[in-house]
Structure 1
Amino acid sequence: MLKHNRALLPAIGAATLLATLLGAPANAAETGHGPGDSGNGGGAMTFNQPKHQAHSNAAPMQCKEMTVDGGFETPKLGKGDDYMQFDEDDVPGWRTDDPDGKIEIWGGSMGVTPRFGKQFAEINATGSYNSIYQDIKTKPNTKIYWSFWIRARDSSDGKDVDATSIHFSKTPKNDTSINGLQGQFAYSNSSDDVRWKRLYGWYKTGPSQTSTRVTLTADDSASTDAGYGNLVDGLTITEAPNCM
């Protein structure tokens, strides 16, 4: 997923500071150590449209995608299928806390065009307030840069707004909850049913953190129907900010 936007992702401090500087909601939460400490930290920003930044003469870092199937292009929907609920074992890289173990993938025939490719996912498959997540290999004490897009599902005559969050934490060894260590960095933002909205930022791993869990959670949905809301597409994570 390293083809979305070529805008650089500046690592310029904590999420609250970034939100203040850019006029975004200051609702990012850092529940581990701050960015200036020896532990984990992160920052987040949000734009409805890609942000263009000045050209840099610095040599580009090698681009390597750290996620698996961040665009939800696999498995492919069958001909004529508007959407499909797949068993989590059939979706590369991803897992879920959906009560039926399902991950719902959409095509572009239900009134929403994918932000990238031909498919995207709805976090709520059969339940509400659900999460989808995957574990990625990381280097200790290293910043990684993330980006993904969110959109609300059109489920009423009026404007619908959903809230979606991203969480990062060290991969739990004895998994008792979806976020493991309750998320050493978490950021939540809202989206409407008119356009895709981009969230992006950075996260710093801690000592000995060779595996990191990234989780996308449906915090709130405009619909009262279980299984409705929180569309996501184009998750990409890389060590190189110039690759986003």
Structure 2
Amino acid sequence: MRKHNRMLATIGAAALLATLFGTPANAAGTGHGPGGGGTGSGNAMLGAIKAKHGKHAGTPAAMCREMTVNGGFETPKLGKNDYMQFDQADVPGWRTDDPDGKIEIWGGNMGVPARFGKQFAELNATGQGNSIYQDIKTKPNTKIYWSFWIRARDTSGGKDVDATQIHFGKTPRNDGSVNGIGSAFSYVNSSDDARWKRLYGWYKTGPDQTSTRVTLTAVDSASTDPGYGNLVDGLTIVDQPGCF
């Protein structure tokens, strides 16, 4: 039986308008602007995003430094495989709370083209409601700017909808919190199985926050199979506005 999507967290009128019309919105203390639209990895992703959203691309390319590692999930290579579940230690930059410690990477032969490059990830590898996360170096009390793409996995004859969250918080010293600690910001949005949807915005670090944990979480999946749902691609984070 198909699971009904839970009601998403209230995002306020400004953010709702941003979702509908693609206009950046602000939230107290932190900001975010959900949008819709396309794909890549590292500087290639930044170039593709700037080309698509040229009117916002006012920062020189030399200043658009990518802060994430392997944000397009292009490593490790799938080779001739359609998809593979890799041990998290073999996926540069990323870790997971998946019960088997697996990160699932897809190629373009599963009926879904990558938004950027040739590969992307499914958040639910062997469990349900899973997260993948990585730590990035940041400056305290500074805005960073993020963008990534989400899509639902097609698991039925009708339209399937998955909800995915991005979360920012200070990297814990003991590594005990997937979502990080303090100065936390999260945003949840949903997507269907017909196209990739872009989410983007900014986040302000807290005092002494020299390392920030960014987490992508499968909040809800249309499938009742614990290993199905929540496709993500093209996470890019920069410390300069106008890079997207």
TM interval, shorter chain, is 0.7 to 0.9
Q: CA deviation at 1:19?
A: 1.0
Q: CA deviation at 1:56?
A: 7.8
Match status 1:19 vs 2:20: no
Moved more, 42-51 or 92-101: 42-51
Name the CA distance, whole Å, in 2 between partners of 1:131 and 1:52. Answer: 29
Match status 1:63 vs 2:52: no
Match status 1:42 vs 2:31: yes
1:114–1:233 Cα contact (<8 Å) kept: yes
Name the CA distance, whole Å, in 1 between partners of 2:238 and 2:56. Answer: 20
Q: CA deviation at 1:53?
A: 6.7
Cα-Cα RMSD: 2.5
1:29–1:186 Cα contact (<8 Å) kept: no
1:121–1:232 Cα contact (<8 Å) kept: yes
Name the CA distance, whole Å, in 2 between partners of 1:125 and 1:56. Answer: 35
Structure 1-normalised TM-score? Answer: 0.82
Name the CA distance, whole Å, in 1 between partners of 2:202 and 2:77. Answer: 30
- What 5-or-longer segments of structure 1 have no aligned partner? 1-14, 36-40
Counterparts in 2 of 1:1-244, with a 5 A limit? Answer: 16=12, 18-24=14-20, 34-35=28-29, 41-48=30-37, 52=53, 54=55, 62-79=63-80, 81-181=81-181, 184-244=184-244
Q: Report what 2:45 is aligned to.
A: none
- What 5-or-longer segments of structure 2 have no aligned partner? 1-10, 39-48
Moved more, 234-243 or 54-63: 54-63
Q: 1:18 to 1:179 in 2, by over 3 A?
A: same
Q: CA deviation at 1:58?
A: 7.3
Question: What is the count of residue pairs matched by the alignment?
Answer: 219
Counting helix residues as a fraction of each chain, which structure ranks higher?
2
Q: Deviations over 1:173-223 (max 9, x none)?
A: 123331132771000000000000000000000111000000000000000
Name the CA distance, whole Å, in 2 between partners of 1:65 and 1:85. Answer: 26
Name the CA distance, whole Å, in 2 between partners of 1:120 and 1:133. Answer: 14
Q: 1:214 to 1:121 in 2, by over 3 A?
A: same
2:74–2:117 Cα contact (<8 Å) kept: yes
Q: 1:197 to 1:20 in 2, by over 3 A?
A: closer
Q: 1:112 to 1:208 in 2, by over 3 A?
A: same
Name the CA distance, whole Å, in 1 between partners of 2:117 and 2:57. Answer: 29
Q: Deviations over 1:128-173 (max 9, x none)?
A: 0000000000001110000000000001111000000000000011
1:65–1:238 Cα contact (<8 Å) kept: yes
Structure 2-normalised TM-score? Answer: 0.82
1:151–1:191 Cα contact (<8 Å) kept: yes
SS in 2 for 1:178: coil
2:183–2:206 Cα contact (<8 Å) kept: no
